[in-house]
Chains A and B, each alone.
Chain A
Amino acid sequence: MSDLAVRVRGLVKRYSEQVAVDGLDLDIHRGEVYALLGPNGAGKTTSVEIMEGFRRRSAGEVTVLGEDPQRAGRAWRARLGIVSQSATDLGELTVREAVRHYAGYFPAPRDPDEVVEVVGLTEHARKRIGKLSGGQRRRVDVALGIVGRPELLFLDEPTTGFDPAARRQFWTLVADLSGAGTTILLTTHYLDEAEALADRVGVIARGRLVTEGDPATLGGRSSAKAVVSWQEDGRRMTEETDTPDTVVAGLMRRHDGAVPGLTITRPSLEDAYLSLIGAASADDLTGGTGPADGATGAGDDEVAAAAGKGSR
């Protein structure tokens, strides 16, 4: 059996007047947590829905758990868990009734009460779903996504509407599922979520994968210049550098070991992401063929240069 849970080559989805997905290539390994990032309208949801077998592709190859989603049957579906966006059904059922009912669709489901427990809804188990808050409702969707013990779990913006505590709890749940061997494809707008959960992230823009890699090094952010900032003579001073340790050592000497308001920042995943999708759309405007690796750093340099204007 292949060690790829998802293999996508040259995926294209055309609607009558527009191209939603334009040659997407993607590999997701078994056991991996993969986060797909991208602005609204970039083709994330369309791509994911093609992998889930909801939509038909216009061109390209897609293999999910060894089968073509357009042809696969019930046995294949039983190995997937899907948490889609924007479901508003089930309002008249209680949490417990819904999880019990949908457990019955799978050959070897988890215990429904245990699933209600792990998504943190035990105290609301007898409540009608229509009366839950947005974040609680979303947790019901997650419960229904995992009750069938999926090998591959699709999470499409799963934490929208969660409060910070619920998001942290959800992250623990995803880590547990991943620890138990579940492969997870996550789409999200929360970059900290991608950073906390994903083994790899991919950035999709204009229907194409712009870059992918370890969230810690995405877009060259680990090797980008650091910005050292401190307080001096009542002003905020900043310096951009490849060697922040040397700069800080100098500052320490000048300030007798206590540098007021000292911070050292590298580009966050969000900075890297914004410059990547910025580069992708600028590239489209000039009719280029896609950003080279070196070009993706440009956005970071601009941010650093702008920050550097205040320095001596």
Chain B
Amino acid sequence: MSTAEKTGTGTLPSTLRLGLSRGGIELKQFFRERDSVVFTFGMPAFLLLLLATMFTDTFEDTGVTASMIFTASMIAAGIMSTTLVNLGIGVAMDREDGTLKRLQGLPTPKAAYFIGKIVLVLVATIAEVALLLALGVALYDVDLPSTGAKWFTFAWVFLLGTVACAALGIAISSLPRSGRSAGAVIMLPFIALQFVSGILFNPIKDLPSPLLEIGSLLPLKWMAQGFRSVFLPDVMVVQEVTGSWELGRTALVLGAWCVAGLALCLLTFRWQRRGEG
């Protein structure tokens, strides 16, 4: 045993390798924890099943059912759940339970932690969207997009929505006083947001205008609108607030939230709890 002599030999692992290794660990922890699987991952699918069972009306002449609209909109809420809610609670817990302190004490570049979170968010979000789409296709006659243009819209709404909500999630992880309170502090506004963004309420043009205005300031409403444009026939555009899919404005709002979210992230991220260090 020559413990001391052997240190200093060899080279430090690269940031990317560490980050990917952290991604594997993050995924294991996420999918093994009952809370995160039930609330963060399962909730949107559960809400979709519930709503589609309760509301069975069809929009006259179009053949479009309420379930189809709920499916398209719920994809947006699903993305927000596996990004914003997942990271908001997860990073607060990492701060609480000593994960971040442990990493700070190890030869870990900070970037490796974030790469790990990106891997977690990407895998969980893709799985979430796949689950919701599978339910929609199997149970509610949702059709996958038939044109390249619609797939392109799907891709950029997914990407911008994921980045904006993930960055906001890391930013709001600093709000809860403790990891234990994070669930309540983040879940409640998230459910309220789903109402004002026209996820749990259908069609969105019938929302009272103050609520609609609040919803229009935040990314979720625009993500849901983008997905409706992809998964619903174009005749349904009359059910939107302005009678248009507003794809240009959607890209603008989501892009702005990406920038604002990343800036907030950089400004507010702390490795330790409030009052330490």
Contact = CB atoms under 8 A, between A and B. Distances in A.
B102 A107 contact: no
B13 A93 contact: no
A75 interface: yes
Contacts of B277: 54-56
Interface string B101-119: 1101111110000000000
A52 interface: yes
B6 A105 contact: no
B60 interface: no
B65 interface: no
B56 interface: no
A28 to B, nearest CB: 14
Given A74-B12, A92-B33, A101-B21, A151 B4 contact: yes
A104 interface: yes
A93 B107 contact: no
Interface in A71-130: 74-75, 77-80, 82, 84, 86-93, 97, 101-102, 104-108, 128
Contact of A181 (B3, B94, B99, B108): B3
Nearest to A78: B107
B29 interface: yes
Interface residues of B, number: 37
B189 interface: no
Interface in A125-149: 128, 144, 148-149
A104 B18 contact: yes
Contact of B5 (A80, A104, A181): A181
Nearest to A49: B277
Given A74-B12, A104-B18, A180-B1, A89 B105 contact: no
A187 interface: no
A182 interface: yes
A89 B22 CA distance: 14
B242 interface: no
Interface in B3-55: 3-13, 17-18, 21, 24-25, 28-29, 32-33
Contacts of B105: 52-54, 77, 80, 82, 84
A35 interface: no
A86 B98 contact: yes
A82 B104 CA distance: 10
B97 interface: yes
Interface string A23-52: 000000001000000000000000000001
Nearest to B272: A54
Interface in B80-111: 94, 97-99, 101-102, 104-109
Interface string B241-277: 0000000000000000000000000000000100011
B146 interface: no
B10 A108 contact: yes
B29 A92 contact: yes
A219 interface: no
Nearest to B2: A180
Contact of B32 (A86, A92, A106): A92
Contacts of B101: 54, 84, 87
A276 interface: no
Contacts of A56: 277
A180 B10 contact: no
Interface string A226-262: 0000000000000000000000000000000000000
Given A54-B105, A180-B2, A108 B28 contact: no
B28 A89 contact: no
Given A84-B102, A105-B13, A182 B107 contact: no
Contact of A93 (B4, B10, B29, B102): B29
Contact of B25 (A79, A101, A182): A101
- Among A74, A89, A108, A150, max chain B CB count under 10 A is at A89
Given A54-B277, A74-B109, A104-B18, A89 B11 contact: no
A283 interface: no
A229 B201 CA distance: 85
Nearest to B276: A55
Contact of B94 (A53, A54, A79, A89): A89
A93 B28 contact: yes
A77 to B, nearest CB: 4
Contacts of B8: 79, 107-108
A181 B107 contact: no
A20 B6 CA distance: 37
17 contacts: A31-B4, A53-B105, A54-B277, A56-B277, A84-B98, A87-B97, A88-B98, A92-B29, A97-B28, A104-B13, A108-B7, A148-B106, A149-B4, A150-B3, A176-B1, A181-B2, A182-B4
Interface of A: 31, 52-56, 74-75, 77-80, 82, 84, 86-93, 97, 101-102, 104-108, 128, 144, 148-151, 176-177, 179-182
Report the 10 A-B pairs with minimum CB-CB distance, sorted nearest first. Answer: A87-B98, A181-B4, A107-B10, A180-B3, A77-B107, A108-B10, A74-B107, A92-B32, A82-B105, A78-B107
